[in-house]
Structure 1
Amino acid sequence: MSIFYFVAFLAIIFALMTIFTKNPVHSVLYLVITFFTLTIHYILLNAQFLAVVNFIVYMGAIMVLFLFVLMLLNLNKESEPMKSNLVKIIGAIAGMCLIATLLGAFRVLEPSNEMVAAHADIGLVKNLGKVLFNEFLLPFELSSVLLLTAMVGTVLLAKKDVKKA
């Protein structure tokens, strides 16, 4: 339980730093660390699929997109000063979170929650696939058709009209 409280404390601190940081690039980086702490929470809850999706989709794709847009906007025109001690401490805390996640992934840190230990198969991708393709097959297929329709509509809207003279 102490790992949970430590990671929850870090999540709250980094979320607050995301809000109150004046530099937009630093704000996005703090948001990445906040999502990383949420990934640690998912691992502690034995929800590996959610942890992987959070790590790949949010941290890997959306945050990189945010950073790319911010760097294209070039909001910070003056050169960045030397790193302060606060940034070095935050980097060390982020490194410790990474080590805790790796140790949790290799099962060095055992979950202390009795409910998770009693139901070890909760949150596994195999069970999610069974539920998704048995009970929720129709909504799953409808959402895929909706996404395909949106993709076709986006291509048609982005297509330039070629006028023949």
Structure 2
Amino acid sequence: MSTTEILFWFLSALALVSATMVLISKNPVHSILWLIIVFFAISGHYILLNAQFLAIVNLIVYAGAIMVLFLFVVMLMNLNSDSEPQKNNRFKIAGAISGGCLMLIMIDVIRDAGEVQNAKALVKEGNIGLIKNLGMVLFKDYVIPFEISSVLFLAAMVGAVVIGKRN
């Protein structure tokens, strides 16, 4: 086995164990911390796929900003078992059906994994996920949608400031 395969299997096992711990943990803060480990493992997979930009964005946006927001919300809500409502049996059945559907999808994905191996031959260059190539495509082929989205973000920012300063 090569080093890349060892890293892949280690990161996959880490992601699966951590995702399971997110679901099993009784303490919501511990669940959030396990979810951060899942995001780190996924970023490791992105690096193995030579997609450094996605790895960094995943760490900054998800593991950084969103998880800190989740952590603050959970801490501010002061969740305890006394105030938690009792779960209805319908929700448990719906959860079991959803989990079964997810399992069927995962089995189908594993069966189709051979097609992904064949698609590797189509990629001629090994630098497909680099930031330089992403920037070239973004600013050559998709410059108009990029500029439109930047104007929309600017309008949303101005609207947030106006709403916040209303008093």
- TM class, shorter-length: 0.5 to 0.7
**Of the candidates 40, 43, 47, which is equivalent to residue 47 of structure 2?**
43
The answer to which of 135-144 and 66-75 deviates more is: 66-75
Q: Which residue number corresponds to residue 99 of structure 2?
A: none
Q: Which residue number corresponds to residue 150 of structure 2?
A: 144
* CA-to-aligned-CA distance 1:21-71 (integer Å, 9 cap, x gap): 111100100110000000000010010111111111111111112112222
Distance in 2 between the 1:75 and 1:56 partners?
A: 27
Tell me, yes or no, if structure 1 residue 158 matches structure 2 residue 164.
yes
Distance in 1 between the 2:23 and 2:147 partners?
A: 38
Aligned length: 125
Structure 2: gaps of 5 or more residues = 82-119
Which secondary structure state, in structure 1, belongs to the residue aligned with residue 139 of structure 2?
helix
Q: Which residue number corresponds to residue 62 of structure 2?
A: 58
Distance in 2 between the 1:37 and 1:118 partners?
A: 27
Distance in 2 between the 1:19 and 1:62 partners?
A: 18
Which secondary structure state, in structure 1, belongs to the residue aligned with residue 33 of structure 2?
helix
TM-score of the two chains, using structure 1 as the length reference: 0.68
Distance in 2 between the 1:36 and 1:121 partners?
A: 22
Structure 1: gaps of 5 or more residues = 78-113
- Structural mapping, 1:113-128, within 5 Å: 119-128=125-134
- Structural mapping, 1:96-135, within 5 Å: 119-135=125-141
Structure richer in helix, relative to its length: 2
Distance in 2 between the 1:118 and 1:135 partners?
A: 21
How far the C-alpha of 1:75 sits from its partner, in A, is 3.0
TM-score of the two chains, using structure 2 as the length reference: 0.67
What RMSD, in angstroms, separates the aligned Cα atoms of the two structures?
Answer: 2.3
Distance in 1 between the 2:25 and 2:149 partners?
A: 37
